Amino acid sequence: MAKKHRKGENTATGQRCVSAAPWHAVIAMPSESDPRCRAADSGGADDTGNKVDTVADGHQFPDRKSLMKAARTNEYCETMKPVNANTLQSGILRALLITAVLLPCTVQALTFRLDGDEVVGNTLEIQTSYEDTFVDLGHVYGLGYREMMDANPDVWPWVPGEGTDVRLPLAFVLPSQGLGGEERIVLNLAEFRLYHFIPEKNIVRAYAVGIGKQGWETPTSTATVTGVVQNPSWTPPASIRQESAARGITLPSVVPPGPDNPLGEYAVALSIPGYLFHGSNQRLGFGMRVSHGCIRLYASDIEELATSVRPGLPVNIINEPVKAGWKEGQLFLEVHPQLEEYADQPVNVEQIIADAVARRPDLVPGEGWREGWSEGWEALIDWEKVSALTSRQSGIPEAISGVSPRS
């Protein structure tokens, strides 16, 4: 699904955009549908003659840090359609091209249109600047630490280095639990990602999350949302206070709202006692196993989620390291490493593929399929590709439908 495109080629359409400023900054390119979100203008100079880049409504970013900050705030869009190269001028910022629904600029999550396909987004490749880390890039793109690690196993996450090629795993096979036409949340522990399916708006939002560490595992379960709290206080349970005391840390009985509160500014309560979706007062932990079982989201993401859910909303907490789904008549497979506590439990990849085939008998066969595919589908899967993906476990969806029969 991904291919190298140093100059910003869109993996879905083949369209190209121009490389970014010398520091290789990256931002989502706005849509023309909102007056604040016009296609970018060419870079120029400010009143002092310094090189700047102009984006959207004419706002200028004098340095990379201010751009990266804006990329994860309400100031500019993050959910975009692919931008035609003809609308771009030399010297503009490289676009993050995500095939997604056009929404107002206040949207924070990776948001995709539910159009019948089960695979959304595009995997992109960028070149890092010397000060980049996977944590920084994760904050900009809504990605978690482990998924960045899995997609780039040969890159040092804290010092990738100047000009290093890094893949952004911004494509996802949607979990089948969310494809039933009802609004629901699906949290897949194995991929450190939460999906909020909103069929009424014909969209799905995808959030990177941190989950429970070993010994404090987030449980698989079915649940419902029971309420939302803004500026929550935190009452550490006795078990956490004892654990902290063993490390010489004395926790108060109640931590009030504020910068010292580990729940952040919003908490979404679940029908599972003691478990929450919440923000954080830390920069690290997203896409990691760091909590005592609760689910941690970026500040902007938990705000959006908290203001979008309602009591009674169904929640599925699953552990599915392997997913298969359809896109444009082709079958894709996405494989993540199994969580440590499930390492000795085998995953029936062939059954997952078979279930995906059975789920979409209505699809018109795409290129590479033969007549009668629904009866002889096993011979039409590229099983060598399946084996490679299950070994690599990159978390990046790739097409597995082909004509290479299984030996």
Residues known to be catalytic: 278, 294
DSSP lists the bridge partners of residue 228 as 268
What is the C-alpha separation between 398 and 176, in angstroms, rounded? 17
Spatial CB neighbours of 177, under 8 Å, sequence gap ≥ 6: 184, 186, 316, 318
Q: Is 44 helix (H, G, I), strand (E, B) or coil?
A: strand
Using the 8-state DSSP alphabet, how is residue 331 labeled?
A: E
β-strand pairing of 295-297 with 276-278: parallel
CB-neighbour burial class of residue 216 (10 A; exposed 0-12, middle 13-18, buried 19+): middle
Q: Scanning the structure block, which residue is given the tokens 């010994």?
A: 215
What is the C-alpha separation between 100 and 84, in angstroms, rounded? 15
What angle in degrees, to the nearest 10, is found between the helix axes of 349-359 and 383-392? 120
What is the C-alpha separation between 71 and 153, in angstroms, rounded? 25
Alpha helices by DSSP H, 157-293? 238-246
What is the C-alpha separation between 406 and 312, in angstroms, rounded? 46
Residue of 390, 386, 391 whose CA lies nearest to 407: 386
Using the 8-state DSSP alphabet, how is residue 174 labeled?
A: P
Q: Is 199 helix (H, G, I), strand (E, B) or coil?
A: helix
Q: What is the arrangement of strands in the sheet containing 330-335, beginning at the earlier edge strand?
A: 322-327, 330-335, 398-399
Residue of 150, 156, 187, 186 whose CA lies nearest to 168: 150
Residue of 11, 400, 390 whose CA lies nearest to 170: 11
Using the 8-state DSSP alphabet, how is residue 303 labeled?
A: H
Q: Is 28 helix (H, G, I), strand (E, B) or coil?
A: strand
